[in-house]
Structure 1
Amino acid sequence: MTAEDELVHTIKHCVLFIQKNELEKAEQLLHVALRQAQQIHHQLGITYIYDVMANLALQREQLEKAKNLFVAVTQRIMTDGASEDDPRVIHLSVKLARVTHLQKDYTTAQIGYDWCLEKLKQLFERDPSDNNKQLLAMAEDWYGRLFLDVDRCEEGLRLMKTSLDRMKEIPDVEKEHLVVQLNDIGTVCDRLGQTDESIQYFNEAIEMANTLEMDDLGTMYVNLGRAYMKRQLLDAARKSCGHAWKLGVMSKNKEVKKEAESCIKQINNLL
């Protein structure tokens, strides 16, 4: 086995650990892979490992580390001749905007998202592939969430809906991702007093989540129950929160059980 074969083998193991959510093991092995790549001066390998490390740091909310690594990857590929219009550079810039957003540096993040969306829309016009559509949708969703964080919910909701519409058009998109988007959009509609619309989104989220094994299903039923309560549809509200309570008991989720009990208590007070 050549040194390059060994490097590929190590990287494959890193990716497997990440897929199995064994992130600490992945982190340790990535450092082994980096040493291997540096010893044989495998520049593409080094760049790839930095990129995996950056994404792992973002996943683990090690934000400063993620930022430094994303910057390093961007610098490396631009030194190799990539322009700022290169899809890889735009992709990294979206991740950097996300990191600064999570660091609550909203002004810098907004400048980053604005730049990325402009570039992504141009890229998507040139090449309307599913990959580019998914990247554009991801950027819109994240930007929408920034607007929620700065209390500009109408703008946030508009971007999140656009993102959801794009995501639904992508054949192999993860259903779990769509469920989270649907539930979150329902929550924003509810916050803005658009109760009927929130009920539609919560119902769609629950319908899809019922085909998957999702821990958040009980919370979605509570959200739906509270929305029904606002519309004075108390039977439907009781049924929804009652189902949430059952799910909470079955999954030993104390938080969901408590939320459901609080919801049922509120309904009883309205009768």
Structure 2
Amino acid sequence: MLRSAGCRALIPGRIFRTWSRGSERCRSREPSLQRGPERRSAAPGSGSGAGTLSAAGLVCLAFSFFSQDQTEERNPEDDIILLIKKAKLSVIMGKPEDADRFLHQALKLAQQTRNNQAIIYTYIQDDNAVIEMSLKLCSIYASTEQHGFAVEGYKWCIETLEEKIQSQKDLPEESLSAHEKDNTRLLLGMSLDSCARYMISRKQLELAESLYEKALAISRQVQGETHPQTVVLMNDLATVLDMKGHHERAYDYVRRASDLARETSHPDEYVILNNLARVLMHKGRYSEAKLVYEEALKQAESKADQPVIERIREGLEELEAKTLKVQVLGEKSY
């Protein structure tokens, strides 16, 4: 199976793309040799990844990795940790061959010293920070129309996270906290969400629907029904269903999203209302659609959100044309 803001109106993707319960999500952490066993999974090719970081950022990162006093005595575990850090830096700099070499060196040293925890860790390249970097690369590939790389990257991110979540499921709290497990699930949700938006741009609506359903389920389970991200995902799923002509199901989701947006004072309520009005129009409920469009326009104008204002006005023009057609041809409307 395959696996920020920007698009408005019926196009999925709004400002609530944080997918986080706290500021700790996906921070690159120091290797901990006390973690439970996990598997190694090689990240997709990331040759263009260095372009996403500033030169200063790379220098600072390199300094933090390699500024240890080389004259200090280090035990073998210190050397293993340093090699793993070098491997991570190589991934960031788009040098997967160097990363693989450093990991092999770390593994050899871990085997020589019979450090089982270190052996386990050297096989881990499904660290959340690495996966998030790969996910960013997927977005770059998608925006530059490198479809093959984008699809393979999304597939790797999603499958790696699904396997990681499965392997972590039964780990006790002392080995891996519930917060850390949730962060991994949220990263999977973010990956599914990002891939779904890309699949919409590729007109692969069946796949986009499936991805959004899974992302929505994760957001509901981890963050709750009323969380802003959950509301956005309901709206996005409704978008896909509406595009597929499944207007009744689309209405159910967008109606729920608009209700929650109103109850929680969601900052994107007017965007969701715009989608609701469009679905109502597609269902032939023109009178209701007009009222919802007008409310959406009022909110959008109060926030001076010009792109959304323009889309709402376009929707109103389309609605007016459909209403006129009904009046001329005597078609049924509600």
Cα displacement string for residues 86-116 of structure 1 (whole angstroms, at most 9, x for unaligned residues): 4344444344334323332111221222233
- Who is 1:79 aligned against? 102
Residues 217-245 of structure 1: per-residue CA shift (max 9 Å, x gap):
32321221111111111221111101012
Gaps of 5+ in 1: 1-14, 16-26, 52-66
Partner of 1:9: none
Residue 177 (structure 1) shift? 2.5
How many residues end up aligned between the 2 structures? 229
- Contact residue 235 and residue 257 of structure 2 kept, 8 A: yes
Asked if 1:139 corresponds to 2:186, the answer is: no
Percent identity over the alignment is: 21
Please show how residues 15-94 of structure 1 align to structure 2 within 5 Å: 30=57, 33-34=60-61, 37=64, 40-41=67-68, 69=92, 71=94, 79=102, 81=106, 82-83=122-123, 85-88=125-128, 89-94=130-135
Q: 1:113 to 1:248 in 2, by over 3 A?
A: closer
CA gap 1:28/1:79 in 2 versus in 1, 3 angstroms? closer
Check whether the contact 1:229–1:267 (CA below 8 A) recurs between aligned residues. yes
Q: Deviations over 1:168-196 (max 9, x none)?
A: 11137993322332222221111111111
Q: Which one of 228, 233, 237 corresponds to residue 176 of structure 1?
A: 228
Question: Structure 1's 75 and 221: CA in aligned 2 closer, same or farther, altered over 3 A?
Answer: farther
Task: Give me the whole-angstrom Cα distance separating, in 1, the residues matched to 2:133 and 2:286.
Answer: 48
User: In 2 relative to 1, CA 119–243 (structure 1 residues): closer, same or farther, beyond 3 Å?
Assistant: same
The Cα RMSD (Å) is: 3.8
Look up the equivalent residue of 2:277 and give its one-letter code.
Answer: G
- Determine the C-alpha separation between the residues in 1 that align with 2:250 and 2:229: 18
Structure-2 separation of matches of 1:179 and 1:74: 42
Residues 265 and 101 (structure 1), Cα distance of their counterparts in 2 relative to 1, 3 Å cut: closer
Report which of the two structures shows the higher radius of gyration computed on alpha carbons. Answer: 2
Counterpart in 1 of 2:258? Answer: 206
CA–CA separation in structure 2 for the residues paired with 1:126 and 1:198: 35
Indicate the structure whose relative CO is greater, using CA pairs within 8 Å and at least 6 residues apart: 2
Counterparts in 2 of 1:100 and 1:251: CA distance versus 1, 3 Å: same
Report if aligned partners of 2:193, 2:212 keep a CA contact under 8 Å in 1: yes
Structure 1 residues 240 and 173, CA, compared in 2 at 3 Å: closer, same or farther?
closer
Q: 1:232 to 1:200 in 2, by over 3 A?
A: same
Q: Structure 2: 5+ residue runs without aligned partners?
A: 1-22, 24-53, 70-80, 107-121, 170-180, 328-334
AA aligned to 2:67 is I
**1 CA distance for matches of 2:302 and 2:188?**
39
- Give the direction of change, closer, same or farther, for the CA distance of 1:120–1:192 in structure 2 (3 Å limit): same
- Corresponding residue of 1:237: 289
Q: What amino acid sits opposite 1:79 in the alignment?
A: F
**Residue 29 of structure 1: how far off its partner (Å):** 8.3
Contact 1:225 1:241 in 2 (8 A): yes
Length-normalised TM-score, structure 1? 0.67
Normalising to structure 2: TM-score of the pair?
0.56
